[in-house]
Amino acid sequence: MNAKKIAAERAVDYIKDGMIVGLGTGSTAYWAIEKIGAKVREGLNIKAVATSLRSEEQARKLGIKLIPFSEIDKIDITIDGADEVDQDLNLIKGGGGALLREKIVAAASRQLIIVVDESKMVDKLGAFPLPVEMVKFGYEITVRKLQSLGCEPVLRKVDNDTYITDNGNFIVDCHFKRIDNPSELHNKINMIPGVVDNGLFINMAAKVIIGYNNGDIKELI
80 has binding-site annotation:
yes
27 has binding-site annotation:
yes
Applying CB under 6 A, does 173 fall inside the site for ligand R5P? no
Applying CB under 6 A, does 27 fall inside the site for ligand R5P? yes
Q: Answer whether 198's CB lies under 8 Å from 190's CB.
A: yes
Question: Which of the ranges 20-28, 54-62, 69-77, 171-179 carries the binding residues for ligand R5P, by CB under 6 A?
Answer: 20-28
Applying CB under 6 A, does 22 fall inside the site for ligand R5P? no
What is the rounded distance in angstroms from the CA atom of residue 99 to the CA atom of residue 35?
Answer: 23
Q: Answer whether 135's CB lies under 8 Å from 197's CB.
A: no
Residues forming the active site: 102
Question: Which of the ranges 42-50, 77-85, 157-165, 183-191 carries the binding residues for ligand R5P, by CB under 6 A?
Answer: 77-85
Q: Write the CA distances from 9 to 24, 25, 73, 168, 186, integer angstroms.
A: 13, 15, 26, 32, 30
CB of 51 to ligand R5P, least distance (A): 8
Q: How far is CA 132 from the centre of its chain?
A: 13
Instruction: List residues binding ligand R5P (CB under 6 A).
Output: 24-29, 80-83, 93-99, 102
